[in-house]
């Protein structure tokens, strides 16, 4: 196999705007078919991206010319269709989060491992080169010993009918935007993070969380303070504060492909800005997914990452002080 033949379960906006165009650019992927509950929508996608429109989700999974599927469905539908895709022998790239609870995430990872298939969450920001640069600067001692990681991801209120306000479909700010800062904290501070406390602000009518704040800590006492929500002016940012200086990065989770990231490093008597090359995180993760399948890459690191993230999200939820306002 020299290319991963890809199918798409669901015609979500992010698939149309970001992921499928990136897959068309990516090496090692060939987009073969899309499926939707609405046949007309599938036909629109198929015509736009030059692929087939399947009769439905099950029809797409039954196709022999599909090696892997991308699942951009609402979170509450991920578990069933990811499991069905694995049963059909397909590798899976799922929109994040994989599921809304730890036990189901563990079951899906176990199913993938037993079947010898790749199951991956689409945390595309991890595949932008800016974060590896930040990690390198910290390792070089540019801010000294890290003491605090801070991150925020907030967006303005959504349209009233948006599925992210639907608790039955896995709605809420924690699962939509809160998971990004959590995943970033693990990326920089390691897998031993624990949840010290959290606050979730609930919508008075919709039954979902619309904002929150989380405090995490490593065994050595390095802390992560994370904020997120659906009722904010837009912010996508993180910073690392050390004993000799601090480093900040804006548009950390959602940089457009043409954007040149700007890292700012400040100390007591000095400040500097580093402009980095533009990078395309959606294309990068698509190529990483395809390359991992084509080369038979070791899956265990992905399994650990999915498991650890699901455990942290579960502990954030179980530790939360809930406020309705």
Q: Averaged over 298-321, what is the pLDDT?
A: 96
72 secondary structure, DSSP code: -
Assess contact for 223 and 216: CB atoms under 8 A: yes
Q: Are strands 246-250 and 262-267 parallel, antiparallel or unpaired?
A: antiparallel
pLDDT in tens, 29-88: 999 999 999 999 999 999 999 999 999 999 999 999 999 999 999 999 999 999 999 999
Distance, CA of 287 to CA of 182 (rounded, Å)? 24
Domains in the chain, CATH or no CATH each: 4-122+283-298 (3.40.50.720), 131-279 (3.30.360.10)
Evaluate if residue 1 carries a pLDDT over 80: no
pLDDT given for residue 294 in this prediction: 97
Dihedral in degrees, nearest 10, Cα atoms 310, 316, 318, 323: -140
Q: Which residues are catalytic?
A: 96
The candidate with the shortest Cα–Cα distance to 189, out of 246, 228, 229, 150, is 150
**Helical pair 75-87 and 102-115, crossing angle rounded to 10 deg:** 20
- Rounded to two decimals, what is the model's pTM? 0.96
pLDDT given for residue 21 in this prediction: 97
Q: Which residue has the tokens 């395309």?
A: 280
pLDDT given for residue 75 in this prediction: 95
pLDDT in tens, 194-245: 999 999 999 999 989 999 999 999 999 999 999 999 999 999 999 999 999 9
Distance, CA of 248 to CA of 310 (rounded, Å)? 27
Evaluate if residue 325 carries a pLDDT over 90: no
pLDDT given for residue 10 in this prediction: 96
pLDDT in tens, 244-300: 999 999 999 999 999 999 999 999 889 999 999 999 999 999 999 999 999 999 999
């Amino acid at each position: 196999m020299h290319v991963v033949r890809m199918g798409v379960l669901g015609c979500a906006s992010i698939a149309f705007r970001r992921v499928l165009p990136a897959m068309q650019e990516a090496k090692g992927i060939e987009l073969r078919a899309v499926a939707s509950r609405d046949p007309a929508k599938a036909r629109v996608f198929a015509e736009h991206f030059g692929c087939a429109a399947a009769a439905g989700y099950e029809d797409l999974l039954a196709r022999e010319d599909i090696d892997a599927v991308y699942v951009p469905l609402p979170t509450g539908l991920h578990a069933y269709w990811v499991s069905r895709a694995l049963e059909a022998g397909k590798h899976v790239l799922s929109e994040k989060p994989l599921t809304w609870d730890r036990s189901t995430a563990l079951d899906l990872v176990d199913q993938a491992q037993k079947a010898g298939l790749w199951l991956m969450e689409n945390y595309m920001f991890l595949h932008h080169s800016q974060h590896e640069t930040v990690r390198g600067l910290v390792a070089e001692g540019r801010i000294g010993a890290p003491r605090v990681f801070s991150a925020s991801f907030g967006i303005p209120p959504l349209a009233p009918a948006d599925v992210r306000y639907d608790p039955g479909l896995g709605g809420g700010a924690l699962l939509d935007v809160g998971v990004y800062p959590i995943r970033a904290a693990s990326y920089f501070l390691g897998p031993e993070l624990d949840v010290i406390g959290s606050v979730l602000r609930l919508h008075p009518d919709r039954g979902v969380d619309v904002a929150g704040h989380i405090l995490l800590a490593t065994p050595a006492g390095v802390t992560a303070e994370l904020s997120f929500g659906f009722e904010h002016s837009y912010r996508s940012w993180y910073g690392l504060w050390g004993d000799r200086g601090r480093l900040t990065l804006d548009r950390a989770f959602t940089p457009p492909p043409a954007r040149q990231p700007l890292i700012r490093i400040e100390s007591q008597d000095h400040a500097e800005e580093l402009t980095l090359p533009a990078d395309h995180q959606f294309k990068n993760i698509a190529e990483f997914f395809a390359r991992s399948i084509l080369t038979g890459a070791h899956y265990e690191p992905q399994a650990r990452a999915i498991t650890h993230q699901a455990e942290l999200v579960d502990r954030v939820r179980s530790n939360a002080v809930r406020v309705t306002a």
